[in-house]
């Protein structure tokens, strides 16, 4: 049964995401899975995630993605709202995986980082 106090933003096609989920499950944690590629977080949810991560939107962007280049997201004049809107519209741009627990979150890179949030 999923534990609603843990939320895992998961891309099953990503090896790091699968590895992080396996680490959690090995410790008896079945987080609520958010298939963010199918159902992207709203801009408000992205702001909450960024707050929990204590990161700026630019730090959460996957700069190697094609959309990063084609949308011109390297442009330093783009504000946080523009970057968050781009991540909402193109969820592949969101660094993954992300585990949220309470008011805190971590990016599972390397996958073992998710263990930092376990009770």
Active site residue 17: no
DSSP 78: -
Cβ-based neighbour number of residue 89 at 10 Å:
12
Give the Cα separation of 23 and 85 in Å (integer).
Answer: 31
First to last CA, the chain: 17
Give the length of the chain: 119
| Among 9, 10, 14, 86, the one annotated catalytic | 14
Which residues are marked as active site? 14
């Amino acid at each position: 049964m999923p534990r609603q106090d843990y939320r895992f933003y998961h891309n099953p096609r990503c090896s790091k995401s699968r590895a992080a989920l396996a680490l959690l499950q090995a410790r008896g944690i079945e987080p609520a899975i958010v298939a963010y590629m199918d159902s992207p977080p709203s801009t408000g949810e992205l702001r909450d995630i960024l707050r929990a991560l204590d990161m700026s939107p630019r730090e959460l962007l996957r700069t190697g993605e094609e959309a990063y280049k084609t949308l011109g997201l390297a442009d330093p004049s783009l504000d946080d709202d523009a970057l968050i809107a781009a991540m909402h519209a193109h969820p592949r741009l969101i660094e993954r995986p992300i585990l949220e627990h309470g008011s805190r979150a971590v990016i599972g890179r390397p996958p073992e980082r998710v263990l930092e949030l376990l009770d």
